[in-house]
Amino acid sequence: MLSVTDLACVRGERRLFSDLAFDLAPGEWLHVQGENGAGKTTLLRALVGLSPPAAGEIRWRGAPIGRLGEDYRRELLYLGHHGAVKEDLTPLENLRVAAALDGRQLDERDTLATLHRFGLKGREELPVRFLSAGQKRRVLLARLVTRQATLWILDEPFTALDVKAVDMLSALIGEHLAAGGMAILTSHQTMPMANGRAVKL
């Protein structure tokens, strides 16, 4: 579904990596490994189309992602380093606003269920800035459920999460893969999920 050929990325005048190639089929996931500064985030940003690569091609369902544009982005969910949640809004508002910007409406019941699943029960109406770092992260991760994308691209999804949340996220990714989804993630941890492959930068 996602195929990458001859990919090269530069930062400033420095070449981070080149001749990178891999394929990802439904149900598979990819673990991007590398030292700090090896270009993991740059690779992910190239994959989602934020920063065009210096060379090479990224294809989704056979077509270059640059040409697909919105059709690619509809099936894609990227969660980066940043919180990407609004501190002044409540978790509920954050999820609802994010969905509305994607042109979709959320079912009240499902949204609340998702927040409860992520351990945010009782905090639905509290502005995010009153939550802890781990809880903020969970608000963001709740989008994994509400967005319903095929391809998840996650940059260090396990940072700031406690053991319970790590298990829950792993389970969530497992469910996603079992349902025919795909995931690409960077992480320093070893991942206990099946069907995984690793790319070392």
Partner 1 sequence: MSNRLINWFKFASPQSFYPLAGKMIPWFWALTAVFGIAGLWLSFFVAPTDAVQGEGYRIIFIHVPASWMSMFIYLVMAAWAGLGLALNTRLSGMMAQALAPTGALMAFLSLWTGALWGKPMWGAWWVWDARLTSELILFFLYIGFIALQAAIDDPRRADKAGAILALVGVVNIPIIYFSVKWWNTLHQGASVSLTKSPSMAQTMLWGMLLMALAFWMYSIAVALMRVRAIILERETHTEWVKELEAVKR
Partner 2 sequence: MSALLAIVRRDLLLAMRRKSEMLTALFFFIIVVSLFPLGIGPEPVLLRKIAPGVLWVAALLATMLSLNRLFAADHADGTLEQLALSPTPLGLLVTGKIAAHWLTSGLPLVLLAPVLGVQFDLDASALGILVGALLLGTPLLSLIGAIGAALTLGVRGGGVLLSLLVLPLYVPALIFGAGAVEAHISGLGASGHLSLLAALLALAVFFAPWATTAALRVAME
- CB nearer to partner 1: pick between 13 and 125: 13
Residue 74's Cβ-side half-sphere holds a number of Cα atoms within 13 Å equal to 6
The DSSP annotation for 14-76 comes to: EEEEEEEEEEE-TT-EEEEE--TTSSHHHHHHHHHTSS--SEEEEEETTEEHHHHTHHHHHTE
Q: Segment 31-70, which members bind partner 2 (CB under 8 A)?
A: 48-52, 70
Q: Does 12 bind partner 1 (CB under 8 A)?
A: yes
CA distance linking residue 114 with residue 120, whole number of Å: 9
Q: Which part of the chain contacts partner 1 (CB under 8 A), choosing from 9-17, 36-44, 163-171, 174-182?
A: 9-17
CB 58 within 8 A of CB 65: yes
- CB nearer to partner 1: pick between 14 and 109: 14
CA distance linking residue 193 with residue 38, whole number of Å: 24
CA distance linking residue 24 with residue 159, whole number of Å: 24
- CB nearer to partner 1: pick between 11 and 104: 11
CA distance linking residue 135 with residue 159, whole number of Å: 11
- CB nearer to partner 2: pick between 84 and 112: 84
CA distance linking residue 154 with residue 171, whole number of Å: 15
Q: Does 13 bind partner 1 (CB under 8 A)?
A: yes
Q: Which does 55 bind (CB under 5 to 8 A by kind): partner 1, partner 2, none?
A: none
Q: Segment 178-197, which members bind partner 2 (CB under 8 A)?
A: none
Q: Does 124 bind partner 2 (CB under 8 A)?
A: no
Dihedral, 174, 76, 147, 162 alpha carbons, nearest 10: 50
Q: Which does 84 bind (CB under 5 to 8 A by kind): partner 2, partner 1, none?
A: partner 2
Q: Does 117 bind partner 2 (CB under 8 A)?
A: no
- CB nearer to partner 2: pick between 86 and 117: 86
Binding site for partner 2 (CB under 8 A): 48-52, 70, 73-74, 76, 78, 80-89, 93, 97-98, 100-103, 127
Binding site for partner 1 (CB under 8 A): 12-14
